[in-house]
Structure 1
Amino acid sequence: MWITLLVMAVAVSLEPFRVGMTVLMINRPRPARQLLAFLTGGFAMGIAVGLVALFLLRPALGGSDSTLPVVQIVVGAVLLVNAALVVAGVWSRGLDAANLTESRFGPLTARARRVLEGRSLWTATVAGLGIALPSVDYLAALALIAASGAATTVQLGALLVFNVVAFALVEIPLLCYLVAPHRTRAALSALYDWLRAQGRRGVGALLAVAGGVLLAVGLAGLG
């Protein structure tokens, strides 16, 4: 479970939209506080959703030996489909939110941009809450944890580790900014530009690896 879970968490952390929001936060007034508020909102949402899902899924899945391979196969298939959609660009995970809204909503975009570029810490917190709303990847990770049959403390630990890794590209820039703000801002912007240009294939590959491993392990467990 752990290796697959970590691969899935890394794939989530490299989503260009997530990195783009981090770039936005680090370019707002009082960047360290903005990043901390953004991280707090995202982490709170991720943990809260995870706790609810795990306690609802555990009774349904039961964590039995016969159930776990089925869940692994289903989650693996979902991740493979997700990887194909990401690589094909059907799910444009790297879209710039500002560009998307500007093409559709006109004057409303300017107002939204002013809010995002302002100094309010509440805006950063709400943005963090929004970025951590459950995605297909996160729900698949929660299903994997719930079906593992591990003790409650182990499942809670897995949930915590997943979120720590998934928000690594918020946590690391926050720490680095305190030491070298200009270098951190430049490096993060360069990473975002690279992910927008090339990251779709990388994220898709990570998801495909995780999905393939889960599918193989699940099929082997049925035998």
Structure 2
Amino acid sequence: MWIPLLAMAVAVSLEPFRIGMTVLMLNRPRPLLQLAAFLAGGFAMGLAVGVTVLFLLRPALGSAHFSLPRVQIAVGAVLLAYAALVAAGVFRSGRGADEPAGRLGRLFGTLADRARQLLAGRSLWTAGVAGLGIALPSVDYLAALALIVASGASTAIQLGALALFNVVAFALVEIPLLCYLVAPDRTRAALAGLYDWLRAQGRRGVALLLAVVGCVLLGIGWAGL
């Protein structure tokens, strides 16, 4: 469970949108507080959703259809499909933003402008809400939760696995938060460079990582049937 789980958490941590939001928080007024509020919101949502899903899925362990090999195969197949979509650019952020046309386009453009103005403000509540939003359950997070539950480990170990997943998934928020204390300008520049690279090339690496984990889980699952 642990190696696939950590690999999935690394893939989540490299999401360009998550890193882009971290860059944005570092460029707001009071960046340390903004980033801390963003991280707190993300952890709160991630752990709350995780604990809820874990305890909802635990009763299913008694079912003959919910065994670790079956879950590994299912999660592996989901990760392979997700990797293909990431590689194809379906989940790529920052796709070209040509000037919107039509009434609907103008409406979305206005909403986007207001959202950018809100995010550029000073409110720590905005940072916290942004953290809550970025940690809403995604395909890979739900797959990781299914893997944790199917492991059959004790409640304490499963909660520890959940906490570890979130710590690794938010590593590129936590590390800049610490680095900013020592070298704020260098931290901003390095993170902005990483964000630009991930937008341009990084999705291929993330897709490859997800595909490798998916293949490993499929192999382990088939062997365990």
1:67 deviation in Å?
Answer: 1.1
Matching residue of 2:40: 40
Matching residue of 1:130: 133
**Structure 2 length as normaliser, TM-score?**
0.93
Distance 1:201 1:106, change over 3 A: same
Kindly report which structure 2 residues correspond to 1:54-69, keeping only aligned pairs within 5 A, or say none: 54-62=54-62, 67-69=67-69
Matching residue of 1:74: 74
Is contact 2:66-2:150 (8 Å) kept? no
Kindly report which structure 2 residues correspond to 1:15-54, keeping only aligned pairs within 5 A, or say none: 15-54=15-54
1:106 deviation in Å?
Answer: 2.1
Q: In the aligned structure 1, how far is the partner of 2:196 from the partner of 2:71?
A: 36
Kindly report which structure 2 residues correspond to 1:111-150, keeping only aligned pairs within 5 A, or say none: 111-150=114-153
1:61 deviation in Å?
Answer: 2.8
Give the letter for the 2:114 counterpart: R
Q: In the aligned structure 1, how far is the partner of 2:201 from the partner of 2:63?
A: 38
1:43 deviation in Å?
Answer: 0.5
Give the letter for the 2:152 counterpart: G
Matching residue of 2:94: 95
Paired residue for 1:160, among 163, 174, 190? Answer: 163
Is contact 1:76-1:210 (8 Å) kept? yes
Distance 1:100 1:139, change over 3 A: farther
Question: C-alpha root-mean-square deviation of aligned residues, in Å?
Answer: 1.8
Paired residue for 2:187, among 152, 164, 184? Answer: 184
1:66 deviation in Å?
Answer: 7.2
Distance 1:142 1:101, change over 3 A: farther
Larger mean CA deviation between 133-142 and 54-63 belongs to 54-63
Distance 1:207 1:17, change over 3 A: same
Matching residue of 2:4: 4
CA deviations 1:26-70 (Å, max 9, x no partner) are 100000000000000000000000000000011113497971100
Unpaired segments ≥5 residues, structure 2? none
Unpaired segments ≥5 residues, structure 1? none
Is contact 1:63-1:149 (8 Å) kept? no
SS of match in other structure, 1:90: coil
SS of match in other structure, 1:106: helix
Count of residue correspondences: 219
Is contact 1:63-1:148 (8 Å) kept? no
SS of match in other structure, 1:133: coil
Give the letter for the 2:19 counterpart: V
Distance 1:178 1:20, change over 3 A: same
CA deviations 1:147-195 (Å, max 9, x no partner) are 0000111000000000000000000000000111000000000000000
